[in-house]
Amino acid sequence: MSTIQSHVFQNWTFKACEDQEWMPAQVPGCVHTDLLKLGKIPDPFYGTNEKEVQWIDKIDWEYQTEFDVAETLFSQEHLELVFDGLDTYADVYVNEVHVLSADNMFRVWKADVKSVLKGNGNILRIRFRSPIQEDLPKLEKLGYALPASNDQSDVGGLGDKRVSIFARKAPYHYGWDWGPRFVTSGIWREARLEGWTQVRINDVYIQQNEVSATSASLTAVVEVETSQAVDTIIRIGADGQRWERSVSLQPGTQTVEIPISIDEPKLWWSRGLGDPHMYNFLTEVLQGERAVAESTVKTGLRSIRLVRDKDEAGASFYFELNGVAVFAKGANHIPNDSFITEITHERYRHEIVSAAESNMNMLRVWGGGIYEQEVFYELCDEYGILVWQDFMFACSMYPGDEAFLNSVRHEAIDNVKRLRNHPSIALWCGNNEIDSAWAHYVENGGWGWKKEFTAEQRESIWADYEAIFHDLLPEVVEAYSPGVDYWPSSPLVSLTGDETQHAHPSTAEGDIHYWGVWHNVEPFENYNVHVGRFMSEYGFQSFPEYKSVRTYAEEEDLALESEVMLAHQKNGAGNRLIKQYMDMYMHESKDFPSFLYMSQVLQAEAMKTAIEAHRRRKPFCMGTLYWQMNDCWPVASWAGMDYLGRWKALQYYAKRSFSDVLVSVDGTKEDTTDIYIISDQLQPVKGQLQIRLLGFDGTVHRDETHDVTLAPNTGDRVLSLRNVEWLEGHDTANTLLRLDLKQEGAANIVQEHYFVPSKDLALQPANINVSGGADENGVHLVLESDVLAKQVWLSSDVEGVFSDNFFDLIPGIPVKVQFTSREGLQSNDVISNPGPIEVRSMIDFIRLT
């Protein structure tokens, strides 16, 4: 059988173009990581070293490899050089013959090199032009600076000359308010030589026309390339069934469509709703019964749509999967590293497994990073994590010249085609925050960008915006991935063409980014006030834990305003805001390591307030994606999981607040405490809700049990308690409400509610006893305390995750916890030995007077 043969290039070297010495390089990789591995630069993540490596992006670099072509490959009719990713401005030479020039990091680049190759001793050389030197003239030619508020040009020694918007390159490389500025160059995805003869399959798309539990109507869209006219049969096989079509192929590239019908298909479901089943489709080009070309694609069968129906409040905004309304629970994802090629398969799996373990069902791939590596989407498919996929545009205005638009069109086509078979892709979104930042139809709206421009410039800039996000990108999605919805910008109300288009915290349609808490120093309680139809961003910062901080700072750097702490806090006001909010809600920490812990608890409490406020408003609100899931370097940020993959308090809190069945308390009313049950499962909830008023010493002041029932996939207020009646004069500083929902055959759902902020609680030193045990589920720990222990933190020298952490331990109510190592978490080995553990609670971190 004639198939595509390939040779992946090895043994690379690199150097600065102005230098003579070639040095060993790793591909995929980049200049920064190669220099670091050779000891030529200091660790960019350590201390204030970021500023020591800013010279790298100002000069040109080149990579080179020498290779032979095996006879079996050399004898093929066609030999093509293929780069899955070149970062970014690159000129490619084979045996000193120029074969292509690249100018977009997100595109696949190919060149026919049959005529310039020889059997042995070929030289492949790639010259990477400095993205800074390449784009500075474009800024000068334009005559004014387009807004790019997160471009840290000053860190790069460029003053206010922000050039990131000219390069089709990961925006976060130029810095962000959680990330450093490392403007990379290099071969960041696989580079190979491909050979084929007569016929090859370039692409197979399993278009899902109509999918239900009873039948799936599909179309296999097969892109075939031939070097000569040939009569053939194209056959598709999956799950023991076959479909085929006789075709006469002509020289060149053509598309063949083959209808497919599957009765009673196994559907792909998101986590919590069912099995994320996948099908393998084998496509063959046949001559007689001999396959001369073949390709296998994997996909899951599902119907997915964004439902935006008018209603009494405004318009809905939710995802419907296989006819079921899905409440989206999750976070915003950024690249896991400033240096993309350092992200291993294991690190991707750790993130996606962590999302699934945290009861998430959606991640938003945010538009300032990259169209993620294939493994990311494969893991989302495997674990049932829906993906809100941004195109790579964020918080900036972009050029609209013909060359730029042409580059964007090719970029969009490449990535939509690459990702469209992944059932996890739920939405394509044009950009992050640009519509609301520019706010074209509100004179004094947005982020104040428009004030810098004349009326004529404004109209030109907005026309360029519309050309990309209202015309080009939706056309590509419709043409290449019909059936998956497109959303122009996040957040957005609707494309009205007037002032009602732009999102704000009180809009009752579209999606919302609510940042009043944090940026505007609004109280946590406002999360209950500003609840939209879909909360696609909101967040609160914390620091990593002590041992993570010590990877980039020395003991003498451990102060909130030290040079190193400020270098690892990219949000200018960030450290001040954490301290300001801590003064509002928390006890004073006794030292800096304690401050780190308390910052995490503060963040977790903020996000619990937000998540549960959103879930209590179901079905008005049908999505809550906090900012952010992960980090690209060790830093104080909004992440729930730090750069090293360690779960912060937020990740554990999110796991509880995202539980498929949740008991939630609304204590915002002065006279009453409202108790809700929210369910995202497709079975009814039926059980007993035990409500106890407890003293911090374990005394039971009041104990009631109520039968509760709840329809599938809904939420409701089940009880409203009168505070005067329940508290009966008990001191709120020493009293809590404990709720236990007990369902037959299911684990208890628990919730604690306090009547005053954390800083007003009368905490006492706790004696926590830890004992070990074993049952049918393996080894576990049992924790008990003589008085209330708030936010009990278990830590181990073994990297891994506890089944619960940062929980409240109440006298008389032991808590059983299991530990899973990081390796075990990924291999589904449920239980591991944590080794010696350290157990601390809030009282251990408070400055006692």
- Give the H/E segment covering residue 701: strand 700-710
464 is a domain residue: no
Mean pLDDT, each 10-residue run in order, the chain (849 residues): 80 97 97 98 98 98 98 96 98 98 98 96 98 97 95 96 98 97 98 96 97 97 95 96 95 96 97 97 93 96 98 97 98 98 97 98 98 98 98 97 97 98 98 97 95 95 98 98 97 96 93 96 96 98 97 96 96 94 95 97 98 98 98 98 98 98 94 96 96 96 96 96 93 96 90 95 95 76 96 94 96 94 77 84 91
Within a 10 A sphere around the Cβ of 836, how many other Cβ atoms?
8
Surface-to-core class of residue 214, CB atoms within 10 Å of its CB (0-12 exposed, 13-18 middle, 19+ buried): exposed
Q: Please choose, from the candidates 99, 71, 97, the residue with its C-alpha nearest in 3D space to the C-alpha of residue 7.
A: 71
For residue 431, what are its two tokens? 């950009």
Q: Report pTM.
A: 0.96
CA-angle at 482, arms to 266 and 202, nearest 5°: 85
The answer to whether position 414 is within a domain reads no
In the numeric block, the tokens 């074209």 are attached to 440
- What 3-state DSSP class applies to 139? helix
Residue 577 lies in a domain: yes
19 and 125 in a single domain? The answer is yes
The shares of helix, strand and coil residues in the chain, as percent rounded to the nearest 5, are: 25, 35, 40
Q: Which of 658, 681, 704 is the last residue of a domain?
A: 658
Is residue 39 located within the same domain as residue 140? yes
**Any bridge partners for residue 7, and if so which?**
193
C-alpha closest to that of 721 among 735, 711, 742: 735
Residue with tokens 């990311």: 376
Ranges assigned E (strand) in 723-776: 735-743, 749-754, 768-775
Residue 815, both tokens: 């808590």
Phi-psi sector, 683: left (phi>0), alpha (psi -120 to 50), beta: beta
Neighbours of 807 (CB within 10 A): 22
The sheet with strand 685-695 has its strands ordered as: 700-710, 685-695, 735-743, 749-754
Distance CA 588, CA 759 (A): 8
604 and 633 belong to one structural domain: yes
Asked whether residue 62 is assigned to any structural domain, the reply reads yes
Q: Are residues 536 and 671 in the same domain?
A: no
Domain check: are 567 and 693 in the same one?
no
Q: What is the CATH classification number for the domain harbouring 524?
A: 3.20.20.80
Q: Are residues 540 and 635 in the same domain?
A: yes
524 SS3 class? helix
Given 640, 658, 676, the domain boundary residue is 658
Q: Is residue 430 part of a domain?
A: no
Distance CA 782, CA 35 (A): 49
Report the distance separating Cα 79 and Cα 72, nearest Å. 11
- Residue 159, classified by CB atoms within 10 Å of its CB into exposed (0-12), middle (13-18) or buried (19+), is exposed
Domain residue limits at 785: 763-849
Beta strands in 274-347 (DSSP E): 279-287, 290-299, 304-307, 318-321, 324-326, 328-333
- Across 3-26, b (16+ Cβ under 10 Å) vs e yields ebbebebeebbbbeeeeeeeeebe
175 and 53 in one domain? yes
- State the CATH number of the domain containing residue 216: 2.60.40.10
Sign of the alpha-carbon torsion through 652, 340, 391, 437 = positive
**Alpha helices, DSSP H only, in 617-668?**
649-657
Clarify whether residues 531 and 604 are in a common domain. Answer: yes
CA 323 to chain centroid, in Å, comes to 25
The SS3 call for residue 23 is: strand
Q: Is residue 436 domain-resident?
A: no
Both 623 and 673 in one domain: the answer is: no
List phi, psi (to 5°) of 284. -130, 140
Return the DSSP state at 435: H
CB 347 within 8 Å of CB 336: yes
Q: SS3 of 699, please?
A: coil
Sign of CA dihedral 133, 138, 141, 143: negative
Does 787 lie in the same domain as 749?
no
Within a domain: residue 452?
no
Q: Please give the structure tokens belonging to residue 576.
A: 């001040």
Q: Determine the pLDDT at residue 591.
A: 96
- Clarify whether residues 667 and 645 are in a common domain: no
Q: Is residue 66 part of a domain?
A: yes
Strands 362-365 and 386-390: parallel
Can you give the CATH number for the domain in which 43 is found? 2.60.120.260
Rounded to 10 deg, the angle between the 473-480 and 402-419 helix axes is: 30
Q: What is the domain count for the chain? A: 5
> How many residues make up the chain in this entry?
849
Of 430, 450, 426, nearest to 438 by C-alpha is 450
Please tell me the distance from the alpha carbon of residue 679 to that of residue 662, in angstroms, as a whole number: 6
535: helix, coil or strand?
strand
Residues 641 and 564 placed together within one structural domain of the fold: yes
37 sits in which H/E element: helix 31-37
Q: At what angle do helices 649-657 and 592-616 cross, to 10 degrees?
A: 20
> Domain boundary residue among 743, 759, 775?
759
Closest CA to 473 of 434, 521, 415: 415
Quickly list DSSP for 182-224.
Answer: ----EE-S-EEEEEE-SEEEEEEEEEEEEE-SSEEEEEEEEEE
